[in-house]
Amino acid sequence: MKRLIASTLGLSLIAGAALAASHAAPMVEGMDQDVSGGTVTASKIVAPANGWLVVHRTDAEMKPGPVVGHAPLKMGENTDIAAILTEPVESGEMLMLMLHGEDGGMQTGIFEYTLGAKEDGPVRMDGDLVMTVITAE
């Protein structure tokens, strides 16, 4: 009986931790990095639902520009997410790593966003985009 209680308690703690992780505040972490291999990596993303890491060009004005890469995300915590770049990015260019949702499109699992569209659009937290900016090395 003690083993059953201990096992049940252990499973409850694990389930509780997983539930807490899935309800953590959305966020994106990344660092400046070498992109000469044709990819860019976010070190950690917390997504409230399945969605996308989207790589936008940006500059000192910090406005999202054209999309130059994307990768799928699962709900909850994602680590070391690599997006293949769809066009060349030079050393010194700024990239915005942004969390996008999987909402409003015609197909689940197909990235449908284009700049300014609502399909698979950006996730916002208190009105702010969930993103970070890095510099290509």
What share of the chain has pLDDT > 90, as a percent? 76
pLDDT surpasses 60 at 106: yes
Per CATH, the number for 26-135 is 2.60.40
CB-CB contact of 47 with 31 (8 Å):
no
pLDDT surpasses 50 at 13: no
| Three-state secondary-structure class, residue 6 | helix
Structure confidence at residue 23 (pLDDT): 62
pLDDT surpasses 90 at 133: yes
Structure confidence at residue 42 (pLDDT): 98
List b or e across 38-49, with b for residues whose CB sees 16 or more CB atoms inside 10 angstroms: ebbbbeebbbbe
pLDDT surpasses 60 at 17: no
Structure confidence at residue 77 (pLDDT): 98
Q: Which two tokens stand for residue 131?
A: 């993103």
pTM of the entire predicted model: 0.82
Better-predicted residue by pLDDT, 107 or 4: 107
Structure confidence at residue 88 (pLDDT): 97
pLDDT surpasses 50 at 36: yes
Q: Please write down the HEC assignment for all residues of 24-92.
A: CCCEEECCCECCCCCEEEEEEEEECCCEEEEEEEECCCCCCCCEEEEEEECCEEEEEEEEEECCCCCCC
